[in-house]
């Protein structure tokens, strides 16, 4: 995809389709008004005869523009003529891009940057347009015979006046990086478990390392993990024919000794539940149990592409969770790298068994903060639905920063408590703790479990079990919470630059 900022006047533009906004009560955005003037009232005609009311999310394609190098114009309803909310802006963008999935349309100029969005500037709008458009045209064809995609768009230009060019351009660079990271995240997540194994994920990470000089990728093998004493992690992979990997990515963009941000992503390439086998219906979706890991890969790609002035470590513990003669059994007790022992009462609560050893391993990096991202509990969807990801953590400032980043990026999270009363539920008669805490507050007790391995640093946990993919007829990875993580990192980069410069 080719991206650019377009500052030329309308008369000079050439494209397959130009996207312009129309408000309710027949009010035209500046570029719609300009087009209307140069076409002897074409747009006003369409609006006046009632073909477009201007309601948010409406879209009408005008297929022929007399005497113009602009082949088509897409009119998009923006609602009332006042600053729109972030959610309505996204709705309008989606209506626009979904109307343009036609073979004839290869180049577009988007003028919806003109639309005022509550509390947002040109940088944000340009970034958001690229994120939303790319997300919408993504199509998984890797394992289909027919590789044709619905959208043939190759060139996206974003309109901005000369005075806003710099802001719009920096938003474009960010949007491009985030969009590329998200496409990688979704692609890896959509791949089936027989292709996307822990070894495959590790190869993809090594590939990324070759593409970016700022990224150093190393993969710890089972023997390395055994030497580190990761008895909990390895107990899960023992039941699988696929060797486990602990993928490490080191991005050095900040000053040499600056403490890094560590991102940990759960990378279960398939979770059958183990001996506590999951029910059959919907089990295919457990190929998505590596979405946290895929998000970490996408985020490091984006960080490297944006050359963020930060040090970031990505850690992806990757394994399968299968039933097997050598698999974990309910009641088994394992010893973690930290020395703490765990009674495995349910082998399907495997994510935390990988994450606990990875959290301990993260101490090696002397992290400033640690954020783990995991499709950890079905209970999170019961609590928050598919709208917000769950957030739990031991540091209020970090949690608030993440919530703010989610709001900015329109990728929302909601905090749940990890008060010590909940820790009771993890009591075991035979080990330091059990790996499950019963039905009540399942997302919280999972985070309580993790918190015991995150005592040495500021830590936040994102439970993305219900937000990382859609089920049903549009089944597929969403790429969340890439937008939130990238927003957090870019905001952090901004503050660290302000401090150092
Ligand atoms: N990967 C699952 C969580 C999950 C479940 C994600 C459904 C998306 C949809 C995780 O490993 C798991 O199985 N969690 C159990 C925990 C339980 C045994 C305490 C769950 O949520 O049922
Ligand atoms: Mn499980
Ligand atoms: Zn799982």
Instruction: Provide the 3-class DSSP secondary structure of residue 249.
Output: strand
Looking at the chain, the whole-number percentage of residues with pLDDT higher than 90 is 97
Residue corresponding to tokens 């399907």: 348
Ligand 1 nearest-atom number relative to CA 445: 19
Q: What is the pLDDT of residue 83?
A: 98
pLDDT for 18-52, tens place per residue?
999 999 999 999 999 999 999 999 999 999 999 99
Ligand 1 binding pocket, CB closer than 6 Å:
271, 289, 346, 348-351, 375-379, 436, 442, 465
Average pLDDT value for the chain: 97
Quote the ligand 1 centre to 348 CA distance (angstroms).
Answer: 7
pLDDT single digits (tens) 204-220: 999 999 999 999 999 99
User: Domain spanning 182-500 has what CATH number?
Assistant: 3.40.630.10
Q: Where are the domains of the chain?
A: 2-159, 182-500
Dist. CA 308–CA 488, nearest whole Å = 12
- Residue 224 annotated as lining a ligand binding site: no
Whole-angstrom Cα distance, residue 338 to residue 360?
6
The catalytically annotated residue of 120, 127, 352, 492 is: 352
Query: Residue 26: how many CA atoms within 13 Å on its side-chain side?
Result: 12
Residue 412, number of CB atoms within 10 A of its CB:
18
Q: Which residue has a Cα nearest atom 7 of ligand 1? A: 378
Q: Measuring CA to CA, which residue among 365, 374, 357 is closest to residue 453?
A: 357
The 10s digit of each residue's pLDDT in 350-405 is 999 999 999 999 999 999 999 999 999 999 999 999 999 999 999 999 999 999 99
Euclidean distance between CA atoms 171 and 126, whole angstroms = 5
Q: Would you say 324 and 273 are in contact if contact means Cβ atoms under 8 Å apart?
A: no
| Residue 442, token pair as written in the block | 């399942």
Is 90 exceeded by the pLDDT of residue 498?
no
**Please, which residues have CB less than 5 A from ligand 2, an ion?**
271, 348, 350
Q: Is 352 considered catalytic here?
A: yes
- The residue whose C-alpha atom lies closest to atom 9 belonging to ligand 1 is 378
Does the pLDDT value for residue 16 go beyond 60?
Answer: yes
Q: Is 25 annotated as a binding residue?
A: no
Q: Does 327 sit behind a cis peptide bond, omega within 30 degrees of 0 on the bond before it?
A: no
Whether 180 has a binding-site annotation, put simply, is no
2-159 topology per CATH:
3.40.220
pLDDT at 412 over 70: yes
Q: What pLDDT score does 497 carry?
A: 74
Q: How far is CA 243 from CA 54, 294, 318, in A?
A: 56, 18, 9
CA–CA dist 248, 208 (Å, integer)? 12
271 marked as binding residue: yes
Q: Terminal CA-to-CA distance of the chain, rounded, Å?
A: 34
Which two three-digit tokens encode residue 326? Answer: 């050598």
Burial call 133-164: b when 16+ CB within 10 Å, e when fewer = bbbbbbbeeeeeeeeeeebbbeebbbbbeeeb
What's residue 67's pLDDT? 85
Asked if residue 483 lies in contact with residue 131, where contact means CB atoms within 8 angstroms, the answer is: yes
Mean pLDDT of 229-234: 99
499 pLDDT more than 70: no
Give the ligand 1 atom nearest the CA of 379: 21
Percentage of the chain lying above the pLDDT 70 cut: 99
Atom 22 of ligand 1, nearest CA residue: 378
Residue nearest to atom 6 of ligand 1 (CA): 465
pLDDT over 80 (residue 410): yes
Contact assessment for residue 23 and residue 79, using Cβ atoms and an 8 Å cutoff = yes
315-365 tens-digit pLDDT: 999 999 999 999 999 999 999 999 999 999 999 999 999 999 999 999 999
The whole-angstrom separation of Cα 138 and Cα 386 is 20
Quick one: which of 333, 339, 313 has its CA closest to 430? 333
- Using 50, 70 and 90 to split pLDDT, how confident is the model at 500? low
Number of the ligand 1 atom closest to the C-alpha atom of 380: 21
Return d(Cα 58, Cα 56) in angstroms, integer: 6
Q: Which atom from ligand 1 is nearest to the alpha carbon of 273?
A: 13
Residue of 75, 49, 51, 53 lying closest to 62 (CA atoms): 75
> Ligand 2: distance of its center to the CA of 289 in Å?
8
Give the pLDDT score at 501. Answer: 47
pLDDT in tens, 118-168: 999 999 999 999 999 999 999 999 999 999 999 999 999 999 999 999 999
What average pLDDT does range 278-283 have in this prediction? Answer: 97
**Residues within 5 Å of ion ligand 3, judged at the Cβ atom:** 268, 271, 289, 351
């Amino acid at each position: 995809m080719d991206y650019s900022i377009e500052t030329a006047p309308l008369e000079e533009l050439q494209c397959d389709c130009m996207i312009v906004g129309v408000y309710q009560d027949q009010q035209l955005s500046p570029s719609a008004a300009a087009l209307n003037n140069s076409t002897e009232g074409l747009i006003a005609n369409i609006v006046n005869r009632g073909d477009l009311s201007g309601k948010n999310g409406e879209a009408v394609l005008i297929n022929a523009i007399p005497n113009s190098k602009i082949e088509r114009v897409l009119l998009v309803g923006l609602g009332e003529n006042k600053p729109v909310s972030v959610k309505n802006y996204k709705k309008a963008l989606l209506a626009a891009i979904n109307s343009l999935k036609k073979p004839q349309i290869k180049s577009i100029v988007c003028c919806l940057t003109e639309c005022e969005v509550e509390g947002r500037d040109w940088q944000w709008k340009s970034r958001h347009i690229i994120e939303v458009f790319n997300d919408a045209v993504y199509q998984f064809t890797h394992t289909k015979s027919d590789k044709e995609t619905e959208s043939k768009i190759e060139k996206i230009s974003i309109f901005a006046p000369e005075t806003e060019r710099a802001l719009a351009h920096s938003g474009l660079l960010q949007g491009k990086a985030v969009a590329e990271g998200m496409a990688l995240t979704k692609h890896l997540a959509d791949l089936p478990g027989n292709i996307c194994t822990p070894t495959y994920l590790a190869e993809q990470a090594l590939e990324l390392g070759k593409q970016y000089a700022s990224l150093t990728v190393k993969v710890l093998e089972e023997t390395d993990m055994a030497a580190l004493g990761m008895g909990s992690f390895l107990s899960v992979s023992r039941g699988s024919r696929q060797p486990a990997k602990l993928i490490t990515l080191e991005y050095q963009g900040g000053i040499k000794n600056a403490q890094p941000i560590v991102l940990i992503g759960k990378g279960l390439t398939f979770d059958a539940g183990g001996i506590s086998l999951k029910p059959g219906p919907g089990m295919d979706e457990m190929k998505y149990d590596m979405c946290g890991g895929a998000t970490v890969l996408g985020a490091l790609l984006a960080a490297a592409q944006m050359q963020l002035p930060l040090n970031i470590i990505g850690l992806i513990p990757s394994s399968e969770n299968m039933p097997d003669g050598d698999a974990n059994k309910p009641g088994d007790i394992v010893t973690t790298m930290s020395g703490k022992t765990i009674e495995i009462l349910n082998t399907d609560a495997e994510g935390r068994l990988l994450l606990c050893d990875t959290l301990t391993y993260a101490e090696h990096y002397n992290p400033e903060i640690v954020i783990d991202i995991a499709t950890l509990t079905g209970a999170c969807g019961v609590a928050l639905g598919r709208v917000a990801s769950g957030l739990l953590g031991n540091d209020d400032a970090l949690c608030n920063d993440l919530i703010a980043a989610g709001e900015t990026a329109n990728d929302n999270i909601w905090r749940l408590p990890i008060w010590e009363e909940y820790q009771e539920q993890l009591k075991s008669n035979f080990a330091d703790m059990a790996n499950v805490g019963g039905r009540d507050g399942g997302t919280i007790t999972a985070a309580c479990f993790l918190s015991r391995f995150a005592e040495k640093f500021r830590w936040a946990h994102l439970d993305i079990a219900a937000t990382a993919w859609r089920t049903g007829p549009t089944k597929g990875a969403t790429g969340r919470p890439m937008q939130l993580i990238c927003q957090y990192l870019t905001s952090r980069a901004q503050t660290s630059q302000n401090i150092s410069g």
